[in-house]
Amino acid sequence: MSATDELLNPDFPVPDELQSNIAITTIDKIYNWSRRSSMWPMMFGLACCAIEMICTAASRYDLSRFGMEVMRPSPRQSDLMIVSGTVTKKMVPQIVRLYNQMPEPKYVLSMGACATGGGPFKEGYNVVSGVDKYVPVDVYVPGCPPTPQALLFGLIAVQKKIDQQSILTVPWYQRGPSEAIPVPILGPDIIDPRQSDVIRVQAAKLATAATAVAELSGAAEA
Amino acid sequence: MYGLGIVRGLGVTLKHFIDSYVDDFRWLGKRYTSREAFNVRQGVKGRGVFTVQYPEERLDIPERFRYIPFLLYEEGPNGEQVDRCTSCGICAKVCPPQCIWIERTNDPKTGRPIPAPKAFFIDIDICMNCGYCAEYCPFDAIKMDHDFEIASYDRTTRHIWNKDKLSKPVSYHAQIHPTDYAAEEAARAADEAKKAAKKAGAAKKAEESV
Amino acid sequence: MTELTASPQGAATTAPDLTLDAHFPDAVQKDTRPGYSGYLVNADKLVEVATAIRDEMGYDYLSSVTGVDYMNDGKMEVVYHAYRTSGGPALALKVQTPRDNAVVPSLVSVYPGADFQEREAWDLLGIRFAGHPYLKRILMWEGFAGHPLRKDWREPYYEEDHKPFDTRWPGGDFHRSEENNPFGTNVQYPPDFSVDGWVPEAEDAIYAGAGALKESGNGHELKTDKLVVNLGPQHPSTHGVFRMVVSLNGETIDHLEPVMGYLHRNHEKIGERNTYLQNMPYTDRLDYICSMSNNHGYALAVEQLQKAKVPERAEYIRVLMVELTRICNHMWAIGFLLNDLGAFFTPALYAIKERELILDLFEATAGSRMMCNYMRFGGVYRDLPEKFKDGDTIDFLRELVNERLPRAIDDLDTYLTNNEIIRSRCIGVGVLPPDKAIAYSTAGPVLRASGVPYDVRRADPYSIYNRFDFDVAVRYNGDVYDRYLIRLDEMRQSVRICQQVVRDLPTIGGDIMSGKLQYQVRVPASEAYGRVENPKGELGYYVVSNGKANPWRYHIRAPSFINLTVLGELCKGHKVADVVGILGSIDIVLGETDR
Ligand code: SF4
Ligand code: SF4
Ligand code: SF4
């Protein structure tokens, strides 16, 4: 089943922000049309998939047909982050920072198996199992690498998602500032600040286990 | 003269620019509608506009193209599906990122394995589209699909493909891989013929010995 | 010295008539383990021996440095492969050191090209190099727990030592690796780690290396503050996720520290868990623009171990594919060099157009545009398809290599070569003299643009390259402009080779694969170093087998990685705007740099 059907298909769980806006006003239509016709992706390549992304933007597949040819090197000027390639632990602090720097409305497309779920390198010690562990992802494009046509299909899916949004419910017009995602830190392994509690609990568990072992061996010696 | 190099370089750009309009005259307005024009444009002799206007236009997918694997089933006369897979496990062993999971069926009475998979999963978030599973499967039961339009909005529920999602009829395989399919059928026929001949031979021998 | 003849099957045979052990009777012995070659050197004499082989025996080019963890013997071994730039096979030196306290003298003073490779061995294997000027982690970050390539080090998602994993079949009840990890993601922490009261050290180490904290000004001039600028890891001109920490004096570069590892995908660790066959598709993802030639190098290395023969037709197809890949790569490199210089995208668009045509052929033959996974041990996956794009494949090939590509290359030449802006931005920038190019172990176009005509295809012929007529392209100024020109030259030579292949191909029949299609590949216990001339330089695979189904050690000599050793030197004294040009002219791919 393709992504198009997915949006129309009722048994697919519609994302929350889409659920409440069945009635699309004319303003919404104009608003969405203008947004989706001038999505500026961030010029941001990570790995092999980036090469296919560049090909998509180049002579043969020509992203400018979708108003996306303006690849901005700066996150401040872009609407769409195409995470194209393997996300490593060493790189993920920068990715989170870039995401935080993008102005809303912002979208994330995860391109390829690696960005989506770790891909062939998932078992590696320096690989993050999917960029969605850190930033929210709107569309996933599987494949290794997705061909330019597959990426275009994913981009069209992003546009479809935009078409479903309503100015009344979109999060960036709600009250209160939107929260930045805490930037992970490079320690003995990557540390996600949101996980510090889990890490503490695990450390405590390990400590009790260690003392238990020590006591046991002590008892055995005695 | 200083600047001559730039001017000559711009000449190349101009040539490319003009070439893209020459095409218009050549095909007299049919540039975007005729498949023939499209193929010439995309071919080695093509000049001028090179763009594929996806999604309206699509490139032909070559037969060997590989994306995500799929499992084959034969369609029985009453519409029942018979999996070709015997759950021999070779694809799971050869898969480089180890993204294939196969549960073998066991006979409920004897507990002995029977050649059919109970469950079959492929994690398409890991699959590297390498094609090894299709290449090494001894039963032609798994092949590489051509469908690349599988972007989705959610991965946790939708990117683990189970047997239902993976299974496609043999006719689909014949349609997307015509040459391979023909070769496989020919090999199968030759195999059967050999077996039959062997059987006949054995029968004959038995007769003679009697 | 007797004349050395190159072995036809390529690399990794040490000349039998060398008498290094006679030279240094008490420090050097022949490596007599079955299947091994080269010499074992005592650690304390290493620098002396290395100096001797460089100065007296002409082995001026240190190609690869790596370590092997012989855990069961309690030893670490450092393996050096040195060559003569005049051609010929490798000289392999090995140094053994105890595993618990692995220390080996650094060779940076003899071969500066050992710098990054020794840092890598320290980072991944925990071998200390005494006397190394800046022994810091290079692929992982400073502060990371453990040395991952040690055989007893386990990654967070560890399942078993070797693939295939038992959980997949017959009882393959699906679960994600996350479910087995207490943190639900790919992490693990050492037992004594606590989140509170711990200080990260990764960044400080980098800036200390950048020389940012040193004083500037020599007392005569005005004292200026140095400015430290980070280029990357997210920067449009770094060709991926590469970072340079530059300390500037005004606009002039005082010091440039390359920081990499942002795409370190643990290729070698995964490679040692994989079976031999399973590594093939992973090699596609090294230098992802040139998957065909990566396949070729790996196939050669394993064929060397197996002593397998490759049928004639397969050899021809391999050469054709590899040379087309070279054209793809150089097209791409030139397009993006121009991007970096500010000619944004038009040259790249023209170059990508030609590349797309070649990719169409790859897709029809191998099944994928980029990740070809095409070669097998003893042959190739499939023959070329009969029909391609409504015509015969051979007609397409003829048109491509005789008409289309030569025309495209000439077009690029007219378009760019005499452009005054390009000339003034490139000529005399980033000059690399030949002696330095050799000393820093640069390879490929970078080396040849500095006037060293060293090309593995000629210096140590492999496959069937000695049957073809082609010249080793060489340029003599060693600046950015020459590195651009040499890529044009090389494309022309590749087209020449392709023309010969296409001319002969229809007359060569036969199999494309020797032996049966086998998924279990076993090789005898031995070592091999297979190398090919990749578009970016010499790509080497050092594979150690212990007779099992998985390699014991699997190391890649990555040209993009080693070519970067000289980057700091090249940029010194130039303006900051030239850095991207110089980097573009080296032509790196991060998948290979960081592996
Ligand atoms: S999904 Fe495949 S092609 Fe894309 S970055 Fe990962 S390994 Fe490379
Ligand atoms: S190799 Fe083929 S028959 Fe065997 S388990 Fe896999 S799909 Fe089934
Ligand atoms: S295509 Fe390759 S990675 Fe994907 S399931 Fe098949 S063998 Fe595994």
Whether residues B55 and B73 fall in one domain: no
Whether residues B8 and B105 fall in one domain: no
What is the average pLDDT score of chain A? Answer: 81
Indicate if the pLDDT at residue A5 is higher than 80. Answer: no
| Section C403-427 average pLDDT | 88
Please indicate, yes or no, if residue B43 is contained in any of the structural domains: yes
Which tens digit of pLDDT belongs to each residue from C66-122? 999 988 888 899 999 998 888 888 888 899 999 888 899 999 988 988 889 999 999
Structure confidence at residue C16 as a pLDDT band (50, 70, 90): very low
Please indicate, yes or no, if residue B119 is contained in any of the structural domains: yes
Q: Are C333 and C589 in contact (CB under 8 A)?
A: no
Nearest to C325 by CA among C301, C353, C358: C358
Please indicate, yes or no, if residue B15 is contained in any of the structural domains: yes
Phi and psi torsions of C287, nearest 5°: -95, 95
Q: Are C495 and C327 in contact (CB under 8 A)?
A: yes
Is the shortest distance between the CB of B133 and ligand 3 below 6 Å? Answer: yes
Please indicate, yes or no, if residue B205 is contained in any of the structural domains: no
Q: Which of A51, A60, A124 sits opposite C270 (nearest CB)?
A: A124
Q: Peptide bond before C25: cis, by omega within 30 degrees of 0?
A: no
- Name the percent of chain C lying above pLDDT 90: 14
Q: Which of C274, C366, C414 sits opposite B9 (nearest CB)?
A: C414
Outline where C102-224 has alpha helix (H). 115-125, 202-209
Least confident of B103-112, C196-205, C310-319, C444-453: C196-205
Model pLDDT, residue C486: 92
CB contact under 8 A, C185 and A129: yes
Which tens digit of pLDDT belongs to each residue from C214-272? 444 444 555 667 788 888 787 777 777 888 888 888 888 888 888 888 889 988 999 99
Please indicate, yes or no, if residue B182 is contained in any of the structural domains: yes
Residue C87's region, left for phi above 0, alpha for psi from -120 to 50, else beta, is left
Whether residues B103 and B164 fall in one domain: yes
Distance from CA of A56 to the nearest CA of C (A): 11
CB contact under 8 A, A124 and C155: yes
Domain end (from B12, B30, B59): B59
Model pLDDT, residue A54: 87
Which tens digit of pLDDT belongs to each residue from C161-197? 888 888 888 877 888 888 888 888 888 888 777 777 7
Please indicate, yes or no, if residue B175 is contained in any of the structural domains: yes
Outline where C64-217 has alpha helix (H). 115-125, 202-209
Q: Which of B54, B96, B127 sits opposite A152 (nearest CB)?
A: B54
Model pLDDT, residue C210: 58
- Enumerate the β-bridge partners of residue B120: B102
Least confident of C187-191, C353-357, C490-494: C187-191
Distance from CA of B95 to the nearest CA of C (A): 7
Name residue, tokens 């001339």: C533
Higher-scoring residue by pLDDT: A41, C221: A41
Which tens digit of pLDDT belongs to each residue from B126-182? 999 998 999 888 888 999 999 888 888 888 878 888 888 888 888 899 998 888 889
Whether residues B37 and B89 fall in one domain: no
Whether residues B169 and B84 fall in one domain: yes
User: Distance from the CA of B84 to the center of ligand 2, in angstroms?
Assistant: 8
- Residue B65 tokens read as 């193209």
| Section C449-478 average pLDDT | 88
Q: Is B112 on the interface with C (CB under 8 A)?
A: no
Model pLDDT, residue A19: 53
Question: C 137-156 residues with CB below 8 A of A?
Answer: 139-141, 143-145, 148, 155-156
Domain count across chain B: 2
Which residues from chain A sit within 8 angstroms of residue C269, using beta carbons?
124-125
Whether residues B23 and B51 fall in one domain: yes
How many CA atoms lie within 13 Å of C590's alpha carbon, on the beta-carbon side? 31
Indicate if the pLDDT at residue C397 is higher than 80. Answer: yes
Please give the single-letter amino acid code of residue C476.
Y
- Residue C311 tokens read as 């049928």
Question: B 165-184 residues with CB below 8 A of C?
Answer: none
Which tens digit of pLDDT belongs to each residue from A74-109? 888 888 898 888 999 888 888 898 898 888 888 999
- Enumerate the β-bridge partners of residue B114: B105
| Section C410-432 average pLDDT | 88
| Pairwise CA distance, residues C453 & C358, whole Å | 28
Indicate if the pLDDT at residue B100 is higher than 80. Answer: yes
Whether residues B43 and B102 fall in one domain: no
CB atoms within 10 A of CB C22: 8
Whether residues B100 and B180 fall in one domain: yes
Whether residues B121 and B176 fall in one domain: yes
Higher-scoring residue by pLDDT: C219, C399: C399
CB contact under 8 A, A145 and C157: no
- Enumerate the β-bridge partners of residue C247: C228, C255
What is the average pLDDT score of chain C? Answer: 84
Q: Which of B52, B124, B154 sits opposite A142 (nearest CB)?
A: B124
Least confident of C18-22, C285-289, C390-394: C18-22
User: Distance from the CA of B122 to the center of ligand 2, in angstroms?
Assistant: 12
Identify how many contiguous H helices and E strands chain B contains and give both numbers: 7, 7
Structure confidence at residue A14 as a pLDDT band (50, 70, 90): low
Atom 6 of ligand 1, nearest CA residue: A114
Least confident of B106-120, C417-431, C468-482: B106-120
What is the average pLDDT score of chain B? Answer: 85
Which tens digit of pLDDT belongs to each residue from C528-575? 888 888 999 899 999 998 888 889 999 999 998 999 888 888 888 888
Please indicate, yes or no, if residue B201 is contained in any of the structural domains: no
- Name the percent of chain C lying above pLDDT 70: 92
User: Distance from the CA of B170 to the center of ligand 2, in angstroms?
Assistant: 15
Indicate if the pLDDT at residue C15 is higher than 70. Answer: no
Model pLDDT, residue C326: 92
Question: How do beta strands B142-144 and B160-161 pair?
Answer: unpaired
Model pLDDT, residue A163: 85
Name residue, tokens 């030239």: C578
Strand spans (E) along C161-298: 227-231, 243-249, 252-259
Outline where B28-76 has alpha helix (H). 35-42
Q: Are A128 and A87 in contact (CB under 8 A)?
A: yes
Whether residues B91 and B181 fall in one domain: yes
Indicate if the pLDDT at residue C464 is higher than 70. Answer: yes
Instruction: Name the residue range of residue B42's domain.
Output: 1-59
CB atoms within 10 A of CB B184: 16
Q: Peptide bond before B62: cis, by omega within 30 degrees of 0?
A: no
Model pLDDT, residue C419: 86
Distance from CA of B76 to the nearest CA of A (A): 25
User: Distance from the CA of C158 to the center of ligand 2, in angstroms?
Assistant: 26
- Name the percent of chain A lying above pLDDT 70: 85
Model pLDDT, residue C329: 92
Model pLDDT, residue C320: 92
Nearest to C242 by CA among C336, C138, C389, C333: C138
Please indicate, yes or no, if residue B74 is contained in any of the structural domains: yes
Please give the single-letter amino acid code of residue C25.
P
Nearest to C286 by CA among C273, C274, C297, C275: C297
Model pLDDT, residue C33: 84
Whether residues B100 and B13 fall in one domain: no
Model pLDDT, residue C219: 47
Model pLDDT, residue C494: 92
Whether residues B39 and B78 fall in one domain: no
Task: Say which CATH number the domain at B114 has.
Answer: 3.30.70.3270
Q: How far is CA C535 from CA B56, B133, B173, C352, in A?
A: 36, 30, 37, 16
